[in-house]
Structure 1
Amino acid sequence: MKTLDSIDVTNKRVLLRIDINSEIIDGKVQDSPRFVEHSKTINELKRRKAKVVILAHQSRPGKKDFTSLKQHAKILNRYSNVKFVDDIIGKKALNEIKQLKSGDALLLDNVRKLKEEFNPGNNKFVKTLSKEFDFFVNDAFSICHRNQTSIVSFPKVLRSVIGRSIEKELKMLDKLKLKTRNLVYILGGNKPDDVILLINNKNVLTTGTISLILLKSRGYNLGKEENALKKDLKFIDVLKKYKNVKVPIDLAVNKNNNRKEILIKELPSNYLILDIGEKTVEAYKKEIENADAVFFKGVAGYTQDKNFQYGTRELLKAIAKSKAFSVVAGGSSSGAIEKFKLGKQNFGHVSLSGGALVYYLAGKKLLGLEVLK
């Protein structure tokens, strides 16, 4: 796959797709490692005297956090000098694009404000912007599995390459794939539809929502937790056949705002299950110690509450200390590394991606990469 090394961008206009989709708390867009990582590609293009125009998104129409990228631009400016225009394909945006000088960068507004973003093809979005550019650079690995205009349509009409962030992701994931003989997967979080794609691997340890669905599929009554799991119980039939996947042997419940650990034989519980227990952590740590490589996706518990951070913190600490090559994936997982001050340098690779990365490891084709081949 061609990289930035294969093109001369001097005095050329480059259309760059990044992913700075962020958490919003009390109306404020939160800084994240994505801004830092993508600024590396932006800064390189600027150093090489390109005229850089950036495409990005925030959430999707109908969601509470669907908003303009004005705040994102301010955060991005902590790492790279970037202008912002509250337009995408109108006269305002086109005028700003035409005025760019070599070494300038401009962020357009949320591409998901355009209905054309969700209807890929040679549409108005593509026709309007493509004639203004010499190259397209995709640096948004986390959304490469999406069939959307800014991912799959521009490469069909512009000479296209991958950015440094995608290049790094692919290099690290291919390294992980080479270590399949003794690779341990630790799958958790609250998005079972993501991690379920990896459940058929040889050595899988589960936490979070997927571990509870597995317990339910094996005949355990979870008690109060079953109401919270309603929308995910559809996966029970799929998971029933995976008898060798490891599940927790004890759990932590929220009893009157305190942590109480119970063995799974003590289920059902009248309290919500918010973490794995100490016995499970110890068992999983032994698996980590014996692994050549570890893939960690999704936190083990409700890390917003100090009472239920134990499982996630201890597993990540064990991975950081181990000799295994490790990949930690997803926003909540990378956020936990920062929260517990474990140091990214102690992990093989901390990925910016979640779903797309799982797709890639599961052997599924990513549309955004296929179109670049």
Structure 2
Amino acid sequence: MGGILTLDDFDVKGKRVLLRVDLNSPVIKGKVILSDRIIEHVKTIKDLCNKKAIVVILAHQGRKGDDDFISLKQHSKLLNRFVKVKFVDDIIGEKAINEIKSLKEGEALLLENVRFLKEETDTSENNLFVKRLAPLFDLFVLDAFSVAHRAQASVTGFSKVLPSCLGRSAEKELKFLGKIKNMNNVLYILAGAKIEENLLLMEHALKNKTNRIIVAGLLGQLCLIASGVNLGAQNKFLEKKGLIQFVPKLKKLIRRHRSKIEMPIDVAVKARGKRKEVDTKDFPQDDEIFDIGKKTINKYIGIIKKARVIFMKGPPGYYQEKQFRLGTIKIFNAVPKRAFSVIGGGDTTTAMKLARINKSRFTYASLSGGALSEYLAGKKLAGIEALKQKRFFK
């Protein structure tokens, strides 16, 4: 696959395999919620165990300082619903090393949250994380495409010293994203709060004259400001979030490609706790925006129904509140089943669940966010580049 080895290139029976997955999941009141990511990576773990490999799993949860920066103990329990996995609350200490050495063929062990280690972000050649674990393994498998854009020890460090390849989930991600990356006449539906990622995608998409973009959510609001609309109270909200800084770049894009970018013509605000639809020409308003309006929804549905290739990232509205899910539900359900459609981003999949939208209506649902945006925008991903150093078992 594009000069990268996959599990099909290795006979893993009896081999010690270090597997990097992404188990990062929603945490509500300290409880880890079973996510699509966990379910997806089970397939690779099962595949390796069934082939009698000795499997040790690396993963992370949250970021230092955040409420969801917790141990992977709960994740191991969730994994055990589908495949038998042991857990050790250690990564590079004697406790972890002894557990690794005691594993038998067909067994799997999950190590503690790799972000607990300061060495995870150390990119030096003498990284203690890599030095301690690498000698214990025969093969490194990167199955977490979602973190492939990060030059961190658990993503890129082991590929420098071990035979390495893609796991099943990452292989599938590259296959589908590679297809849409090279297609013409793609309709990009971009929304959500990740403005930098969406800007990357906009810049890339607009290089191809056959592509078209629909914007909604916070990105849509910023595009309206960039085109001269004063959103009133919403301007202050966006400024507080540090998002107004993206307006100058959006102004340039809109000036150059106005006919290719579709923007909201009305929105839904929260007025005295209730949904209220307001045309964009009637701004500024004193109420904050939470969704696209019905006129915009109908306008966008007309465009979506005609599209044959669709890439969608981010929910069009504040889906956490039922009264503001209308845009998300209508836009997601407008995607024709006959179209080649890819959806991506963590918020997108969460919104789909809350809005009870079946992901089977889409050709492929990506588990990635930042890595997906960078890959589609043509950027090199550190984790993928590291896998191009082909090494086989001795």
Give the match for residue 35 of structure 1.
38
The one of 247, 251, 274 equivalent to 1:236 is 247
Answer with 362-371 or 226-235: which moved more. Answer: 226-235
- Give the Cα separation in 2 of the matches to 1:147 and 1:204: 31
Give the match for residue 142 of structure 2.
138
- Give the Cα separation in 1 of the matches to 2:153 and 2:16: 19
Contact 2:325 2:355 in 1 (8 A): no
Amino acid at match of 1:251: V
RMSD (CA atoms): 1.0
Q: Tell me the CA shift for residue 247 of structure 1.
A: 1.1
Counterparts in 2 of 1:218-257, with a 5 A limit?
A: 218-230=227-239, 231-243=242-254, 244=258, 245-257=261-273
What SS class does the counterpart of residue 261 from structure 1 fall into? Answer: strand
Give the match for residue 369 of structure 1.
384
- Give the Cα separation in 2 of the matches to 1:58 and 1:228: 29
- Give the Cα separation in 2 of the matches to 1:259 and 1:10: 59
Unaligned runs of 5+ in 1: none
- Give the Cα separation in 1 of the matches to 2:173 and 2:95: 35
Amino acid at match of 1:252: A
Answer with 82-91 or 336-345: which moved more. Answer: 336-345
- Give the Cα separation in 1 of the matches to 2:237 and 2:50: 50
Give the match for residue 318 of structure 2.
302
The one of 273, 297, 300 equivalent to 2:289 is 273
Cα distance per residue 1:234-272 (max 9 Å; x no partner)? 101111012222211110001111110111001111111
The one of 322, 325, 329 equivalent to 1:313 is 329
Q: Tell me the CA shift for residue 228 of structure 1.
A: 1.7
Q: Tell me the CA shift for residue 324 of structure 1.
A: 1.1
Q: Tell me the CA shift for residue 343 of structure 1.
A: 1.9
Aligned residue-pair number? 371
Q: Tell me whether 1:83 sits opposite 2:86 in the alignment.
A: yes
Amino acid at match of 2:366: S
Amino acid at match of 1:50: A
Cα distance per residue 1:180-213 (max 9 Å; x no partner)? 2x21000000110111101132311101111111
Contact 2:319 2:355 in 1 (8 A): no
Contact 2:5 2:165 in 1 (8 A): yes
Amino acid at match of 2:221: L
Cα distance per residue 1:92-144 (max 9 Å; x no partner)? 00010000000100000000111110012331100000000000000000011
The one of 9, 13, 21 equivalent to 1:18 is 21
Q: Tell me the CA shift for residue 179 of structure 1.
A: 2.6
Answer with 106-115 or 215-224: which moved more. Answer: 215-224
Contact 2:310 2:341 in 1 (8 A): yes
- Give the Cα separation in 1 of the matches to 2:110 and 2:285: 50
- Give the Cα separation in 1 of the matches to 2:103 and 2:337: 48
Q: Deviation above 6 Å: which 4+ runs of structure 1?
A: none
Contact 2:337 2:361 in 1 (8 A): no
Cα distance per residue 1:297-324 (max 9 Å; x no partner)? 00011101011000011111011x3421
Contact 1:140 1:165 in 2 (8 A): yes
Q: Tell me the CA shift for residue 69 of structure 1.
A: 0.7
Unaligned runs of 5+ in 2: 206-210, 389-394
- Give the Cα separation in 1 of the matches to 2:212 and 2:355: 26
What SS class does the counterpart of residue 229 from structure 1 fall into? Answer: helix
Amino acid at match of 1:266: D
Give the match for residue 164 of structure 2.
160
TM-score (norm 2): 0.92
Amino acid at match of 1:119: D
Give the match for residue 391 of structure 2.
none
What SS class does the counterpart of residue 166 from structure 1 fall into? Answer: helix
